[in-house]
Amino acid sequence: MKRTLGCSGIEVSALGMGCWAIGGPFWLDGKPVGWGRVDDDESVQAVHKALDLGITFFDTADVYGCGHSETILGKALGHRREDVIIATKFGRVFDEEKKCILGSKADPDHIRSACGNSLRRLGTDRIDLYQFHLGDYDPGQAAEVRDVLEELVSAGKIRYYGWSTDDPERARVFAAGDHCAAIQQAFNVFGGNDETLRLCEELNLASINRGPLAMGILTGKFSEDTTLPDDDLRSRFDFKRGVQADQLRSLDSIRKILTSEGRTLAQGALAWLWARSGNTIPIPGFKTVQQVSENAGAMRYGPLKADRMAEIDRFLGRSAASSS
């Protein structure tokens, strides 16, 4: 399965690999913002497995593991760099040694410096898709950020750019730029900003979907009794009440539909996103070779059929228009 990365015309695998988790633990104000401990050798093998299974799109950020995710991804790709499209992000300030986020910046000097540092860690001479990571940045100042990104395109350091934001107003500011190719938004079977997705369709932008498996909920591996390590950001989840508990209940109602035609739950959730729009490119995270194999296996089945999509809407009590 292939999809086009928006107006860039670049063809990529319909599934990307999100590289947040392989960055390992890092912290903000003493709280975990990573996915817990990782095995770097396993991470490298997982990237190799993804390549072998036809994955050509990898999404990371400079702040994931405070530089570690980019470093591991660059190491893993090695001489196969030319076979893939690399997306990374900027906007955070962090301490690589202490593994902690210090703040945010989006001035021109910081953007240029962050780009150079990402190029170094990734071991490459250009970034295919450079994404603004500050989703709530002042839209009135966003054009200045966009203009710096256009300069980086002209300098040959990046090819295209995008914004990781769920807000259509902000997305539209970046979309006015000649080399804006994508908007990264939170989207999965439980929900997302439909207006932002429609904007991507209208303006021929890729909708790169973060959280396509609802941070693990849609894999079926969690229950109300689940506990997670203290260095995993999901250790703050409450599976007995609140958002995650609601999602577990919703999952029970649509489990049979998602696992239709032999799919696993995760594969069904990815199939839902492909059926939702021709612009979507989900980027599930991974830590292991097994996770990569399962997620990449979703491409064998393709999108869910229209009748399955309608069933899910009915079970979740929402209008079919939200999944048209």
The whole-angstrom separation of Cα 124 and Cα 242 is 43
CATH number at residue 247: 3.20.20.100
Q: What is the pLDDT of residues 240-287, one digit of tens each?
A: 998 999 999 999 999 999 999 999 999 999 999 999 999 999 999 999
Domain count, the chain: 1
Alpha-carbon distance of 237 to 234, in angstroms, equals 5
pLDDT of residue 323: 47
Which of these, 83, 144, 151, 93, lies nearest to 117 by C-alpha position? Answer: 93
pLDDT of 321 over the 80 cut? no
* Confidence class for position 320, pLDDT limits 50, 70, 90: low
Cα first-last separation, the chain: 21
Q: What's the rounded Cα separation, in Å, for the pair 238 and 160?
A: 39
CA distances from 281 to 41, 69, 160, 229, 273 (A): 27, 20, 16, 30, 8
Q: What global pTM score does this model have?
A: 0.96
Pairing outcome for strands 100-104 and 92-95: antiparallel
R_g (Cα) of the chain, nearest Å = 19
Backbone torsions φ then ψ of 92, nearest 5 degrees: -100, 150
Task: Note the pLDDT tens digit of each residue in 124-173.
Answer: 999 999 999 999 999 999 999 999 999 999 999 999 999 999 999 999 99
DSSP track, 88-141: EEE-EEEETTTTEEEEE--SHHHHHHHHHHHHHHHT-S-EEEEEE--TT--TTT
Residues in the chain: 324
Q: Which domain holds residue 295?
A: 2-323
